[in-house]
Structure 1
Amino acid sequence: MDEKIKNVIYNLQQNNMAGYFVGNKNELIDLLTTLINPGDTVGCGDSVTLESTGVFDFLRNGNYVFYDKHRPNLTAEEKRKIYLSNFSADTFITGTNAVTADGKLFNIDGNGSRVAPILYGSKQVIVVVGINKLVNTVEDAILRTRQIAAPLDAKRLGKKTPCTSLGRCIDCRHKQRICNDFVLITGQFVKNRIKVIIINEPFGF
């Protein structure tokens, strides 16, 4: 673990959030087995990082009650029920768009279903982040999310927003815009409710 990551973890702790460091996705899964109890209810946010690290498969195949929003053929109402269930989950697990050097989390969301349980409800929130998401300042976090993450995510979701063809954000007002909720988390009342796991590899957008 280099000094930059040590500093991020220290500052997360200063902001009443826990910080962890793992070398790869196998170590990530090992750590999750210690943080999530058998039989727990687990919700999730939409995340390329969780998909590519095998976290979704781990939850589907483990001894957990997994609120799996990625099941095929879910109706809009079924998805809404899952989103609401996430507020009462024992654990909500998600990625994040950026983590600043001073231990803050920044996210942009489309409908709020990912950021809302991070803010309130779930007893425990686990945030999984690749080293590519570590930035120096809040301004860097916003720039990174708007100009790198959001256009790639909009393209992944099949949106027709300008950023999918331009490859950059122009602060559009398109009806399919996914940049609706800008959320900066600077700390927590409940110590270690939010746990941030940094993987020593790049993952996600």
Structure 2
Amino acid sequence: MNNKYNDIRFKFLHILGETVVNSLKKRGFLATYVNQKEEALRLICDLIQDGSSVGIPGSVTIREIGAIAALKEKGCTIYEHWNMPLTIEEKNKIFIRENSADYFLTSSNAVTRNGILVNVDGVGNRISGMSWGIGELIYVISMNKVADNLEAAFSLIRNRSCVLSALRRGVDSPCAQVGYCVNCMTSQKVCKAFLIQEAPPTGRKANVILVGQTLGC
């Protein structure tokens, strides 16, 4: 019985994933659907040339699939600011390097069925790298981030992504205390800036890898 339902879930995710891929392609993204995170990692390693520089902002997904270790094995220079005891000045310098790397590797907080990417940021470094940069964009997005429409995408981000982010970082925001967005106006607010991408930035190549698993926040 379990295998039967697993097969149905697998088929459902594949069908929906291909629907989103087709929508992304119509908008100019280079999109692919894969079943497992291991396949996503292989695609990343195929897309990124050996010895390249790669900017990796705050992304649980990218770290969950093991991209950093794999890219270092390819001789890539990784720019990241996570999990490091940095001063504000040091962190700002890395933000610039992340956005100026040959590749900008990240995830997305949500993607709508019709192929629109929606992201939130507290500092602004991640969404700035998505909207402006000199390198090629690579998004790895798990199927738990697919939303019906923009309204649903914002709800998903505010009531799940932001709460999980606050809990992960130990931020004492109101949403972290109750488990959902309360539209706070405190200094601890993690959803300070949003980016809606209806198409890749002009003159910039953007790859999207959809993964049929639950990853990230």
Q: Is the 8 A contact 1:11 1:102 kept in 2?
A: yes
List per-residue Cα deviations over 1:36-57 (Å, max 9, x = no partner): 0111110012011112111122
1:13 Cα shift?
1.0
Q: Which residue among 60, 81, 89 is the counterpart of 2:101?
A: 89
1:62 Cα shift?
3.0
Q: Which residue among 19, 40, 45 is the counterpart of 1:28?
A: 40
DSSP 3-state at the match of 1:2: helix
Unaligned stretches of 5+ residues in structure 2? 1-12
For 1:112-151, list aligned pairs within 5 A.
112-151=124-163
Question: Does the alignment pair 1:57 with 2:57?
Answer: no
Give the letter for the 1:94 counterpart.
T
d(CA) in 1 for partners of 2:52 and 2:94? 15
d(CA) in 1 for partners of 2:16 and 2:43? 21
Q: Which residue among 7, 13, 19 is the counterpart of 2:31?
A: 19
Q: Is the 8 A contact 1:86 1:122 kept in 2?
A: no
Q: What does residue 183 of structure 1 align with?
A: 195
Q: Which residue among 66, 73, 82 is the counterpart of 2:78?
A: 66
Q: Is the 8 A contact 2:175 2:181 kept in 1?
A: yes
Q: Is the 8 A contact 2:36 2:213 kept in 1?
A: yes
Report the structure number with the largest CA radius of gyration: 2
Q: Which residue among 19, 33, 40 is the counterpart of 1:7?
A: 19
Q: Sequence identity, in percent? A: 31
For 1:142-161, list aligned pairs within 5 A.
142-161=154-173
Unaligned stretches of 5+ residues in structure 1? none
For 1:96-115, list aligned pairs within 5 A.
96-115=108-127
Alignment CA distance shift 1:174-1:61 (3 Å)? farther
1:192 Cα shift?
6.8
Q: What does residue 43 of structure 1 align with?
A: 55
DSSP 3-state at the match of 1:118: helix
Give the letter for the 2:123 counterpart.
N
Q: Which residue among 168, 175, 185 is the counterpart of 1:173?
A: 185
Count of paired positions = 205
Structure having the higher helix fraction is: 2
1:71 Cα shift?
5.4
Question: Does the alignment pair 1:79 with 2:91?
Answer: yes
d(CA) in 2 for partners of 1:12 and 1:156? 30
Pairwise CA RMSD: 1.6
Q: Is the 8 A contact 1:49 1:204 kept in 2?
A: yes
1:12 Cα shift?
0.7
Give the letter for the 2:139 counterpart.
V
Q: Is the 8 A contact 1:17 1:192 kept in 2?
A: no
Question: Does the alignment pair 1:201 with 2:210?
Answer: no
